[in-house]
Chains A and B, each alone.
Chain A
């Protein structure tokens, strides 16, 4: 599988973009809306005009048209052809390459098996659920065994459970096929959970490329830090398994439940927008729910940022202005704080020097 090199890419959305994607890796491109994420994928696929050079294994492919680049593309809205059934959709690229019908049938059967969708073969896309469409689109993109797989927010239209399930499968599949993959998203958690490396794209320029830890703990500039936001980072004194993929971490007296299996970890990251606040005790399980006292309130146009003292820890939460006003929150109030179980990210390394201004120790916000 080829390594991909982008050099000095320029067009309406990219400005002198350089990027190196390693052979067989799953690289995530993260960035705000309009930063040129999709355009960058289209450049690699040859679907838009650009200046500069795209190389596969050091060989320029600029002169190769889109339909000959051997690139699998999973589009944001999937774009399954509505007038073709699942079989015909998956076999489309094979027919374009003039394979014989027998060969097409064999390959399509193989792909239906791979994606576990044999029972859907004769259905039409209008008749499939979101997750099923996703699998069909994946099978179609992989039909010609492309060397490169491009994915443009493929999970954005799925419910969170289906997406979580498919993410694991997709990651396994990518490993199994060893295909060089580029995945565009604006979901930080998705990137942290799946990526080999992450590239942060800002206004058409790559700001930083690195592993999730490098990016989160050592953002190279203010733009990256701004985009990622300042997460709550909690150091864990110890952690233990409480069975079946669930671990309990002790972070300065806070007992936090984390869905994680295996190695112990030293640090938890959760974004302010994934910390829920309520004035009365919410119904349901008490997992990851704590009492905190509001110490600081900062309002902006549409959102309000709060700081709490929870035991010995300081936590940040972000909520909409409307929710803030409805609850009538004020400094010194005692509130219930819930950490969204699915949004807790963990890091296993023993890294200690946090970048300034991000840890809970720092009071400035």
Chain B
């Protein structure tokens, strides 16, 4: 019984295991170059790591995501906070941002290629745009949703406007801000792959395109696995961070007054 209980958390992996076994069987029975068996993909995974190809491309993608997403989120949070806190700034900027927000991130590529050229700044700028808008809009919503009475309470307790913003309003807006961050951390990876496939000669996306032209389906699948893992782990990281920061008080948020 004890062993069964220990295994319990791992049961979520069972469907994945069955899927992999089926994949292996179907590929072996059909024996077509268009669907390599899972075992061959894993061998190729190892080869790519051992030769350093995967590591090099992965690192350049990761660096772009970290810089672009980091900058986009920070600027998004700052802009969103100012807009949520100050009505005049909100009224001035909101219409402009609303106009730009619906443009899909990849739609910027042609324009940015001409303005920036094909260099490291291109994917970073794309990720920046991808992260900035949703994080900014979620922050504005979060700040605006904070019960104004808390501000009144803080003021009567002697807090200045700045103190109120940093000690009361922003902490209470965190759940909304994290919603934006969680969404966009995965989206950043989807965007960078697409950008590298279209415009940039290095990174996981570029590796994908090369593999396609050489009809190396095993390499394509390896890249897709890396992408899936990165999207998931970035989203999970922010979920974990949010829990760490806000779970103390949010677990009973239902009866807060």
A283, CB-defined interface residue at 8 Å:
no
* Bound complex: CA A264 to CA B24 (Å): 95
Interface string of A155-176 (1 = CB under 8 A from B): 0010000000000000000000
Q: Could you tell me if B257 and A77 are in contact, using CB atoms closer than 8 angstroms?
A: yes
Interface string of A84-124 (1 = CB under 8 A from B): 11000000110111000000000000000000000000001
Interface string of B217-256 (1 = CB under 8 A from A): 0000000000000000000000000000010111111111
Q: Could you tell me if B257 and A73 are in contact, using CB atoms closer than 8 angstroms?
A: no
Q: Could you tell me if B157 and A133 are in contact, using CB atoms closer than 8 angstroms?
A: no
A327, CB-defined interface residue at 8 Å:
no
Q: A77-B257, A78-B257 are known contacts. Are A126 and B157 too (CB-CB below 8 A)?
A: no
Candidate in B154, B252, B257 with the most chain A CB atoms within 10 angstroms: B257
Number of A-B contacts (CB under 8 A): 83
Q: Could you tell me if A126 and B149 are in contact, using CB atoms closer than 8 angstroms?
A: no
B171, CB-defined interface residue at 8 Å:
yes
Q: Which of B156, B168, B251, B252 contacts A66 (CB 8 A)?
A: B156
Q: A67-B160, A144-B158, A157-B257 are known contacts. Are A47 and B252 too (CB-CB below 8 A)?
A: no
Cβ contacts under 8 Å, B171 to chain A: 83
Cβ contacts under 8 Å, A71 to chain B: 156
Chain A residue with the shortest CB-CB distance to B174: A83
Q: Could you tell me if B158 and A126 are in contact, using CB atoms closer than 8 angstroms?
A: no
Q: Could you tell me if A126 and B252 are in contact, using CB atoms closer than 8 angstroms?
A: yes
Q: A47-B152, A75-B153, A124-B252 are known contacts. Are A80 and B159 too (CB-CB below 8 A)?
A: no
Q: How many B residues are at the interface, by size bracket?
A: 20 to 34
Q: Could you tell me if A125 and B256 are in contact, using CB atoms closer than 8 angstroms?
A: yes
Q: Could you tell me if A124 and B257 are in contact, using CB atoms closer than 8 angstroms?
A: no
Q: Could you tell me if A126 and B156 are in contact, using CB atoms closer than 8 angstroms?
A: no
**Given A79-B150, A93-B159, 17 new contacts (CB under 8 A):** A66-B155, A68-B158, A73-B153, A75-B149, A77-B257, A79-B153, A80-B256, A82-B249, A84-B249, A85-B248, A92-B167, A96-B159, A96-B163, A124-B249, A126-B249, A126-B254, A133-B257
Interface string of B158-193 (1 = CB under 8 A from A): 111001000110011010000000000000000000
Chain B residue with the shortest CB-CB distance to A89: B157
A360, CB-defined interface residue at 8 Å:
no
Residues of A in contact with B (beta carbons under 8 Å apart): 45, 47, 66-68, 71-73, 75, 77-85, 92-93, 95-97, 124-127, 133, 140, 143-144, 157
Q: Could you tell me if B253 and A93 are in contact, using CB atoms closer than 8 angstroms?
A: no
* Bound complex: CA A144 to CA B157 (Å): 9
Chain B residue with the shortest CB-CB distance to A133: B257
Chain B residue with the shortest CB-CB distance to A123: B252
* Bound complex: CA A83 to CA B171 (Å): 7
CB distance from A169 to the nearest CB of B (A): 20
Cβ contacts under 8 Å, A75 to chain B: 149, 152-153
Chain A residue with the shortest CB-CB distance to B248: A124
Q: A77-B149, A127-B252 are known contacts. Are A83 and B156 too (CB-CB below 8 A)?
A: no
Cβ contacts under 8 Å, A126 to chain B: 249-256
Chain A residue with the shortest CB-CB distance to B155: A66
Q: Could you tell me if A67 and B150 are in contact, using CB atoms closer than 8 angstroms?
A: no
Q: A47-B152, A83-B171 are known contacts. Are A67 and B251 too (CB-CB below 8 A)?
A: no
* Bound complex: CA A67 to CA B160 (Å): 7
Q: Could you tell me if B156 and A92 are in contact, using CB atoms closer than 8 angstroms?
A: no
Cβ contacts under 8 Å, B248 to chain A: 83, 85, 124
Cβ contacts under 8 Å, A77 to chain B: 149, 257
Candidate in B157, B246, B252, B253 with the most chain A CB atoms within 10 angstroms: B157
CB distance from B33 to the nearest CB of A (A): 57
Chain B residue with the shortest CB-CB distance to A79: B153
CB distance from A82 to the nearest CB of B (A): 4
User: Could you name 9 residue pairs across A and B whose Cβ atoms are closer than 8 Å?
Assistant: A72-B156, A73-B153, A75-B153, A81-B150, A95-B167, A96-B157, A97-B158, A124-B249, A126-B255
